[in-house]
């Protein structure tokens, strides 16, 4: 079974947490990957740690890999016959979050003109 995903984060700690959160999704749908989770997290963490600290940029991380096995035993304990774990990381330009202008429906409504008093 294989996996591939990319995440982006502002700091190294956030990048590592994002990788773990994304890999937890992989394990949820492909339980056999619980076996290679420690290797995936260690590999991604090591690659992230190779980068210089730069608070002006975001870190983009891509992870992919696979595991293979010979029989259809319990995915959590099946003996693996092959495995691949890969990660790459690099800095990317940080995109500033823009606040969308309020929609016309959200504009404040002025009080209606007071009704003229009847004479």
Give the Å distances, CA to CA, from 89 to 43, 98, 112.
11, 25, 58
In 3D space, the residue among 6, 11, 3 whose CA is nearest the CA of residue 62 turns out to be 6
Taking the C-alpha atoms of residue 106 and residue 110, their distance in angstroms, rounded to an integer, is 12
Is 80 exceeded by the pLDDT of residue 47?
yes
Q: What angle do CA 34, 37, 40 make, to 5 degrees?
A: 150
Model confidence pLDDT, tens digit, residues 22-45:
999 999 999 999 999 999 999 999
Q: What pLDDT, on a 0 to 100 scale, did the predictor assign at position 90?
A: 98
Q: What pLDDT, on a 0 to 100 scale, did the predictor assign at position 97?
A: 62
Taking the C-alpha atoms of residue 89 and residue 97, their distance in angstroms, rounded to an integer, is 22
In 3D space, the residue among 51, 41, 45 whose CA is nearest the CA of residue 13 turns out to be 45
Question: Who wins on pLDDT, 70 or 106?
Answer: 70
Answer whether 0.95 is exceeded by the pTM: no
Is 80 exceeded by the pLDDT of residue 19?
yes
**Which stretches of 1-119 are assigned E, i.e. beta strand?**
2-9, 57-69, 80-93
Is 90 exceeded by the pLDDT of residue 63?
yes
Instruction: Return the percentage of the chain with pLDDT > 70, whole number.
Output: 80
Sketch the domain layout of the chain as residue ranges: 2-96
3-class DSSP assignment, residue 1: coil
Q: What pLDDT, on a 0 to 100 scale, did the predictor assign at position 71?
A: 77
Q: What pLDDT, on a 0 to 100 scale, did the predictor assign at position 95?
A: 77
């Amino acid at each position: 079974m294989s996996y591939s995903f990319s995440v982006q984060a502002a700091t190294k700690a956030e990048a590592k947490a994002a990788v773990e959160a994304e890999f937890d999704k992989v394990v949820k749908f492909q339980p056999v990957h619980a076996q290679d989770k420690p290797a995936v997290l260690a590999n991604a963490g090591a690659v992230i740690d190779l980068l210089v600290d730069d608070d002006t940029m975001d870190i983009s991380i891509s992870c992919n890999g696979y595991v293979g096995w010979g029989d259809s035993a319990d995915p959590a304990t099946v003996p693996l016959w092959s495995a691949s774990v890969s990660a790459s990381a690099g800095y990317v330009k940080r995109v500033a979050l823009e606040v969308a202008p309020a929609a016309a429906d959200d504009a404040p409504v002025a009080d209606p003109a007071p009704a003229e008093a009847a004479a």
